[in-house]
Structure 1
């Protein structure tokens, strides 16, 4: 079964710092901790972050889009914010993975169809 056949589940989280996270999860790897790649999206609305997370999760088990509280995108501890989100959402099989660049861009039709 591909990730295209089953939509990702979505968790939206607002951190006490004011940052917002859109977390799309298809499935965690069975019995192991799944690292979740993520990307900062400063200056965008939550709706756009949700759409970007769902697009990015098409090619991976999970993906998180992080919208910083300020439009400049500065954050002292993005890994801490993501960790709190996973803990709060009771997603103990997820860990903070690498920061990605450009993952929010629309996938070409040939890639999205795979």
Structure 2
């Protein structure tokens, strides 16, 4: 989540990423067919991570993968509704800088 924090500059404050929760994830690999289907769509250039359903991820949150400076917007969440004890949700992430670009 981005929060505004004070600085010692003329601007007075800046927005920085402040983590609200930390969770484990695994990258989800799309098939070649799925990748081709996304070409030319708003989901082109996105990544998918799998997280445990218990984490209650919301689509209005931002995310950052540990060790990377990139901040991602959550585009979609595919909820696992299998009702099994261990469930995983697939979270589609898009680089915040590419969200408004035409290149992305």
TM, length-normalised to structure 1:
0.25
Choose between structure 1 and 2: higher strand proportion.
Answer: 2
* Structure with more relative contact order (C-alpha pairs < 8 Å, separation 6 or more): 1
Choose between structure 1 and 2: higher helix proportion.
Answer: 1
TM, length-normalised to structure 2:
0.26
